[in-house]
Homo-oligomer: A and B are copies of this chain.
Amino acid sequence: MAKKYNICLDVGGTKVLGAVFNEKDKLVCKIKRRSTEKGNSSENIEEVIIEVTRLLIQKANIKKSQINAISAGVPGIINSATGVVVFTPNLPWRNYDLKSAIEKEFGAKFYLGNDVNVGVLGEFEYGAAKGYKNVVGLFVGTGVGGGLILNKKLFVGNEFMAGECGHMIVDENGPECGCGNRGCLETFSSKKGMAKYIKGEMVKGRSSMMGEYIDDNGVFKSKYLKAAVEAGDKVALEAIDRACHYLAVGAGSLISALSPDCVVFGGGVMEALGDLFMEKILAEVDKYAMPSIRPHVDLKKASLGDYSNIYGSLALIKQAEKGKK
């Protein structure tokens, strides 16, 4: 029986998304399982991945022997050469050989990469950044992640750590960042950064409907930010203006340094509020990108939504198989 199906996973801090693709890269079926929060050891989360993969096999009505390869985008530092998860900020893996574990279970090749890197790769191979050569991706979610496609290949840098564009300094006197520094892009433009601004304004006595949607972790669901915008919530709109302003500053600096032909903005916030964000970013980026380079760059909203990571995982398989030929 031909090994013609690829199983692609998006492993998040709180959920595992998965999809099965046939030999023509057509999506056969998909599944979403919210359970990584329960995992408190490397093995537990590995079990969730195995469970989702089994459910996908079942749902697609295929056999284990028909799987060509499995792949995943994982939040953290991934040694994409060895498949070892070096470090994950929100999951308990430390130098864990996830590749061997999954390959042993399913008898198929397993490829993995950093989630945002993989998401940008997805947009490059199948989404808004298709056809470009040098792509900078900025993904706005709980934090701000980055990914770089340079000369049509994912650039991972030294120790597989490239793409931390959310930690570029956009205002050295800005808020403290979780990384330990001050004024990183993500202190302004991430959900956490926006929530912190809104809470700060509320402490000053201003009101915002976002108050009840910001959870104990200082995050909110993007749909509530959208609702606040639609309700004309001033504080929420200021937080968005601030987020977009600094995304323009960060994108401008990256355009000057790298001369990409495309900057793609993705992630949950862009999925919910992309048009508004793009409008505001585009209105400002000319002030911060070198004028001689700016006209040669397209700024785009990601087009694969929640599936940029899944398609990026598919691209990981394709790139690996292409490399072997």
Contact = CB atoms under 8 A, between A and B. Distances in A.
Interface of A: 77, 87, 133-134, 146, 148, 150-151, 155-165, 167-172, 179-182, 184, 249, 252-254, 256-261, 287-293, 296-297
A260 B158 contact: yes
Number of copies: 2
B293 A161 contact: yes
Contact of A180 (B259, B260, B291): B291
Given A150-B150, A249-B169, A292 B261 contact: no
Given A155-B150, A172-B171, A249-B169, A179 B257 contact: no
A171 B169 CA distance: 9
A133 B158 contact: yes
18 contacts: A134-B157, A134-B158, A150-B155, A157-B260, A158-B259, A158-B261, A162-B258, A163-B259, A164-B256, A164-B257, A164-B259, A164-B293, A169-B253, A171-B171, A179-B292, A181-B289, A254-B257, A257-B257
Given A155-B150, A161-B296, A297-B158, A290 B179 contact: yes
B171 A259 contact: no
A258 B164 CA distance: 7
Q: Which of A155, A181, A289 is packed against the most chain B CB atoms within 10 Å?
A: A181
Taking chain A's interface residues, is the majority helix, strand, or loop, or is none over half, making it mixed? loop
B162 A257 contact: yes
Given A133-B158, A134-B158, A150-B155, A168 B291 contact: no
Contact of A291 (B179, B254, B257, B296): B179
Contacts of A167: 256, 290
A117 to B, nearest CB: 11
A259 B158 CA distance: 5
Given A163-B257, A172-B171, A181 B287 contact: yes
Contacts of A258: 148, 155, 157, 162
Given A158-B261, A169-B170, A181-B288, 8 more contacts: A134-B162, A155-B258, A156-B259, A157-B260, A162-B257, A168-B253, A171-B172, A172-B249
Q: Which of A134, A167, A184 is packed against the most chain B CB atoms within 10 Å?
A: A167
Nearest to A284: B172
Given A150-B155, A288-B181, A291-B180, A259 B161 contact: yes
A202 B305 CA distance: 56
Contacts of A249: 169, 172
A54 B240 CA distance: 62
Contacts of A288: 169, 172, 181
A171 B293 CA distance: 20
A53 B159 CA distance: 43
Q: Nearest 5 pairs between A and B by C-beta?
A: A157-B259, A168-B253, A161-B259, A162-B259, A167-B256
A177 to B, nearest CB: 9
A257 B165 contact: yes
Given A155-B150, A181-B290, A257-B257, A252 B161 contact: no
